[in-house]
């Protein structure tokens, strides 16, 4: 899953699909990619279960599947707490430090 999400264009596609279902052509219009390139990324996203496709006559419409992302979010939760604790400790340490003067007088 992380390997799939590591590709920036795939994340851009997911960001666009957050707004709702879109066809391959609509996605290609909004991205600096050709339609075949968008289709290849969508195939990878579909195989990872991050998007699902609906056939509408000649068009294929894609929509986001949030469930796999919720699994990642659940997995990341303890790491967020870890970093929040570390950042809070750093903030407390910095607040406790004396202000460092730049050596100049207040008069200029």
Work out how many domains the chain is built from and give that number.
2
Q: Look up the CATH number of the domain holding residue 21.
A: 1.10.10.10
Average pLDDT for 48-72: 92
Q: What residues form DSSP beta bridges with 41?
A: none
Q: Does 13 share its domain with 42?
A: yes
Mean pLDDT of the chain: 89
Q: What residues form DSSP beta bridges with 60?
A: 55
Q: Is residue 106 part of a domain?
A: no
Give the per-residue pLDDT at 12: 96
Q: Does 51 share its domain with 91?
A: no
pTM: predicted TM-score of the whole model, two decimal places: 0.72
Residue-wise pLDDT tens digits, 25-45: 999 999 999 999 999 999 999
Q: Does 31 share its domain with 47?
A: yes
Give the per-residue pLDDT at 100: 73
HSE, CB side, 13 Å, CA atoms: give it for residue 40. Answer: 7
Q: Does 25 share its domain with 74?
A: no
């Amino acid at each position: 899953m992380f390997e799939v999400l590591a590709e920036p264009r795939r994340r851009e596609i997911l960001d666009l699909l957050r707004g709702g279902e879109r066809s391959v052509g609509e996605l290609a219009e909004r991205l600096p990619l050709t339609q075949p390139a968008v289709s290849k990324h969508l195939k990878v996203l579909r195989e990872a279960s991050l998007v699902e496709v609906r056939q509408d006559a000649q068009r294929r419409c894609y929509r986001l599947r949030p469930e796999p992302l919720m699994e990642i979010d659940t997995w990341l939760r303890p790491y967020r707490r870890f970093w929040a604790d570390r950042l809070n400790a750093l903030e407390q340490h910095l607040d406790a430090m004396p202000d460092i003067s730049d050596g100049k007088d207040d008069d200029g």
